[in-house]
Structures are given as structure tokens and as C-alpha cells.
Amino acid sequence: MATNKPKMEGEVFYPSDEIIAQANLKDWDVTAKAALKDPQAFWATEAENLEWFEKWDQVLDDSKPPFYKWFVGGKVNITHNAVDRHLKTFRKNKLALIWESEDGKTDRTFSYYALNREVSRMANIIKAMGIGKGDRVTIYMGRIPEIVFAMLACAKIGAIHSVVFGGFSVDALAGRIADSESKLVITCDGSYQNGKLVELKKIVDESLKHCPSVENVIVVKRTGQEIFMEPGRDHWFHDLCALPIANGKCATEVMDAEDPLFILYTSGSTGKPKAILHTHGGYMVGTYATLKYVFDLKDEDRFWCTADPGWITGHSYLVYGPLINGATAFMFEGGPAYPYPNRWWQLIERYGISIFYTAPTAIRALMRFGEAWPNKHDLSSLRLLGTVGEPINPEAWKWFYRVIGKEKCPIMDTWWQTETGGFMITPTPVVPLKPGSGTRPFFGQDAEIVDEQGKPVADGEEGYLVLKNPWPSMLRTIFGDDERYVSQYWSKYPGKYMTGDSARRDKDGYYWIIGRVDDVIKVSGHRLGTAEIESALITHPAVAESAAIGLAHEVKGQAITCYVQLKPGFAPSEELSEELRQHVSKHLGPIARPEEVKFIDKLPKTRSGKIMRRVLKARAQGLPEGDLSTLEE
């Protein structure tokens, strides 16, 4: 244990001398203080570690808030920094990506040299289909290496990728393709989930009935199942690879630092999902620096982020962050407990994973199977652990720390969002930890907890979490909807970014996230909106109206409960309830399947017709219903 321990309140886990000795950055306080005093200088130094075709003239242009611009005038390409630049160093022959199939029968490994070959080939093909700078490409695949190639290939030629999580279904996919006006979709015939086939291509076919913008579909063969191929529109990837245009070098486009890199749809307060837009320059610097400091990356590390590339965690810390840092990333096709609950522990042992980053929901689920499963495996390669996506309960934190990390691996509880692009409230390995707290804002950032009027609340009190400083990997806008960007994030507390989370800060300046204050539900760390679930329900002929709420769930964190008002002629029944759950699963995706569908005669609404979900939530929890003065008669 470290000798110099600051005195702090509550239960504190101090970093060991060994951890401090090997940390790249030993003095958190000094860096934090300097970065807070001059965030632009901190970020400029980080940006200088990367390669630019042309250097920026201005670090931050904040003349038109909240439309901040970073590294203005700089010319760059994120794929150049994630792939190309490593080819000039010893990393050319280093493993960039290690992958294992769900059934464990196949592994595939790619050096940076091989990664460049794969990305270039995919980029040549996409380009030959007429895709260029600024065009949108939807990627809808399972967790296989080609999803990484596809993302990097789009970035390489300046196209904007829009990855849709493979666990979403027709309604979600169609809506996202249509909104982005993608000309190209990259998909697979199918994917595996717990030994079962998911018919991805079939879902694409269904979706494209509503998406006139799509001209071509590239299909990667993964499962070999029988699928429909529309002549002229659908192309097997392996057939395209055999064409002469696929081979040879592919130039990496020179992009403006502020050119869009990707959009990623996420659920907001109300209405349909928003396309969060990130850029080449700022996002690149943000993911690079946050990962480097927080997970203390070293060349000999093997970094495993269990997230799917369909979510921001996969974008930033499975694909871009590790590769920009020249690390070795590990990617696994399957989930934690198939065929047995030792699957992940087996992989940590087999590949010598040194940094393991996952979600609290997975830890809680695996905890239930008992310690015997992890104890069967040698986990001594682990050096650091991490969690993300939802608050971690101290019990799960301690289990993770003791059983998986053997009390020697600090846990980096990283708080951030699709919108922030990278870690915002997070420790680094040398920071004392308190189970359940993300500790303090990352370098250059300052957070505050405020009341309804925007006034800071006292330490220990709950309030709204806001961020005070712009940062490079911040979202630039909602694609095609600047107004919504301003109203959603910057209107309630002018000059401050509204996170949508409530939190409190303790006497030591540590932040404790409580949860969302809007209509976002976090199911197993996956972000879903009540509106999406309700619009899926309304397409069922029996449903007149519905309301979705999130209720606490032991493993998933939150689970969905829906209240349904039936149309005349339909009667409540167990069968109908089950049918509606399946309906949501089929239309929106299995991750959105409600835990419960309950029938209600009349939904509580305000006089202006808005559903009062908080009243339903209070009733379900047996809590006081609060102020009902706006409730309609």
C-alpha cells in the first residue's frame, strides 16, 4: 500500500506502491491543476503527440458557443493515426487486433500491417461504390473484425459511418438508415448470439423497404445461412474482394479537423433518437488522451473492452482509442456466459489480457454464478479493471476487485456519454478509489452539481450534473438538427453542458452519479428511450396508448415496464401481455424487450396531454406520487 495516503471520508481503496511505480502519470494533482488552469494548453500538448498533415492555427474557437471548434485549420485523418502512422514504427509487426469467435473454434489476429491491408481493401471497395467525403454509410453487423475494418475504412476515405447495434431490429435500423440518408449499408448474413443465429441480413431487407436512399449493400459472410440477395443492390464482400479494384493502396483522405467522422444514434429526453456527431480531430485527441491516462496504456498491454462497436464505448475504446495508442485490442464475438459462465475468464487467461473494461450489469450477472468459475482460471495477467455505462453498486465493485482483480488491480469507474466521446469523470490508476464513485473530472474538465435554477448545491446534496468546459471529443451537433443540439444540451443552464444525469459530490470532491433525470432508460447499460419503446408498441393493433418506464432491476440495473391502454374490443390477458413483449423485441430489438407489460384503463396525463411517467413510476414503487396539480381530471 502507498505510504502517502490522503485522509478521506468513507471507504477508500488506495493504490499500491507497485501501481504507482509503474503508472505513466504519477502525480494526478499536478497535471489536474495545470490542465484546469489552461485546458487548451493541456489538449494542445496531447494533440502534438499525434500526426497532423497540417497543424492547427487555433486550439479552440469558442466564438459561437455552443458550436465549439477544436484544432481549427488543422488537417488530419483519424485512420492515419489509428493505422497508417504505426506502419513507420516497430508496431508495424505488433498485433493490433486479436479476435475470437463465440464458439471458440476460430481466432483471427491482425498486425498493424495486416490491419492496414484489410482497411485499405474495404476502403477501395467502398470508394468504388461511389462513396466519398461526407457520404453516410450505415454499418449493421455482429462483433467480427470486419466491423472494425468498415469503420476505419469509412474514416479513411472521409465517409461518415453510422453504426447501428446488431441487437436492434427493423424499426430501429430503418429509422436510423432513413434519418442518415445512407447510400450504402454494410452488414453480415447473420451473427451469433448465445449459440443462436440472428438474421441480420433479413432485418436489413425488411428495413430497406422504408429506405430509398440506399443504393448498395455489402454483405460479409459470417454464418453461411441461406439469405436473399437483391440483384444489383446486394454484393457479397468476398466477391468484391476478388475484384482488381479491391487491391492495392488506398490513399488516406486529408480531412479538416472539424470534418465529421461519424454519427451515432442515441436516445434523448423525448422524441426519436438523435444522431450525435463527432469529428476527426477532436474525437481523435480525446479518445487518445483519455485512454492513455486512465488505463495507463503501455506497449505490452492487451486491452479488452467488452462493449459492442454499436455503442459509443465500442467506438471509443474498442476501436479508435486503443488503435490510436498503438495498443493491442482484443475483441470477442460472444457474451459473458455462453456456453458457460467462465467464458470471459477463460479468454483473459488464454490471451493474457492485462486491462479489462466492462459494464456493471455483466459483473452482477457473473457474480451470481459464484467464485468457482473465475477461480478456475489464471487471471494474473490483469493489471487494471474498468467499468462504464451505469452506476456500479459497491457490492459488485468489491466482488470485481477481490475475485477478478485479486485486490491488486484498481478499478477505473469511468463516467461519460455518447455525447462526450470520451471519459469525463474518472480516476487514473494513482487516484484513491471509493466503490461507486467515478472520482473526479478528467484533466481540463470541471463539473458542477446545480439545482433547477442552475445554482450550485452544497456538497452531499443531489442535483443536476453539468460540465463547465468545452473539450475536444465533445459532440459538435445533432446531425441535421442544430436547434435541437442547443435546446437539448445548452439551454437550461446557458454556457454549461447539461448531462441529463443527477449526481452528488462529497467532501473530497468525489462525484457520485445517481442516474438519468430524463426519459432515458438504461437496461444492462444500454441506452434506450421511452419514446422508441412506446412507438414500437403502438404499431400493435391492440394498443391505443402506452407508457414505458424504467424500474430498478438487480442484474440489469434498470428494466422496462410498460403500461398499455388497449383499444376497444381488446381485453387484458397474460397471452396479450406476452405478445406485446415479443412485439417490442421483434420491432425494436431483443435488448428492448419489456420485463413487464401491464394493462391500465387510463394513463395519467397532464392537462396538456403529456403522459406523467413519474407518477407511474412512483405508483409502481409504492412511493408518494408527488405534485399532482397538473394531472388532468
Interface residues with ligand PRX (CB under 6 A) are 266, 311-313, 388-391, 413-418, 438, 499-501, 513, 515-516, 522, 527
The distance of closest approach from Cβ of residue 363 to ligand PRX in the complex, given in angstroms and rounded to an integer, is: 12
| C-alpha triplet 606, 610, 616: angle, nearest 5° | 75
For ligand PRX, the closer of residues 259 and 413 by Cβ is 413
* 317 touches 287 (CB < 8 A): yes
Nearer to ligand PRX, 418 or 428 (CB): 418
Q: Tell me, what amino acid is at 265?
A: Y
Among residues 177 and 388, whose Cβ is nearest to ligand PRX? Answer: 388
C-alpha span between 209 and 231 (Å, rounded): 15
Instruction: Extract the C-alpha cell encoding 464.
Output: 443536476
Q: How many whole angstroms separate alpha carbon 120 and alpha carbon 246?
A: 8
Omega before 66 cis (within 30°)? Answer: yes
**Is the Cα dihedral 617, 623, 626, 628 positive or negative?**
positive
Residue 361 dihedral angles phi and psi, to the nearest 5°: -60, -40
What's the min distance (Å) between Cβ of 612 and ligand PRX? 22
Q: From CA 530, how far away is CA 548, in angstroms rounded?
A: 5
Residue 417 CB, nearest approach to ligand PRX (Å): 4
Nearest to 412, CA basis, from 442, 391, 433, 381: 433
Minimum distance between the CB of residue 140 and ligand PRX, rounded to whole angstroms?
Answer: 18
For the bound state, the minimum distance from the C-beta of residue 392 to ligand PRX, rounded and expressed in Å, comes to 7
Separation CA 589–CA 206 (nearest Å) = 14
Q: What's the closest the beta carbon of residue 437 comes to ligand PRX, in angstroms? A: 9
Distinct helix (H) and strand (E) counts, the chain: 20, 30
CB of 311 to ligand PRX, least distance (A): 6
The 3-state DSSP class for residue 308 equals coil
Comparing CB distances to ligand PRX, the nearer of 10 and 352 is 10
Q: All 3 cell numbers of residue 266?
A: 442515441
Q: Which residues, listed in sequence order, are joined to residue 163 by a DSSP beta bridge? A: 139
From CA 359, how far away is CA 343, in angstroms rounded?
Answer: 16
Q: Which of 175, 154, 142 is nearest to 267 (CA)?
A: 175
Between 77 and 414, name the residue whose CB sits nearer to ligand PRX.
Answer: 414
Q: Which is nearer to ligand PRX, 298 or 398 (CB)?
A: 398
For ligand PRX, the closer CB: 158 or 360: 360
Q: How far is the CB of 393 from ligand PRX (least distance, A)?
A: 11
Question: CB-wise, 388 or 564, nearer to ligand PRX?
Answer: 388
- Residue 299: which of 152, 100, 112, 40 has the closest Cα? 112
Closer of 246 and 312 to ligand PRX (Cβ): 312
Yes or no: say if 284 and 320 are a contact pair by the CB < 8 Å rule: yes
| Closest separation in Å from C-beta 168 to ligand PRX | 13
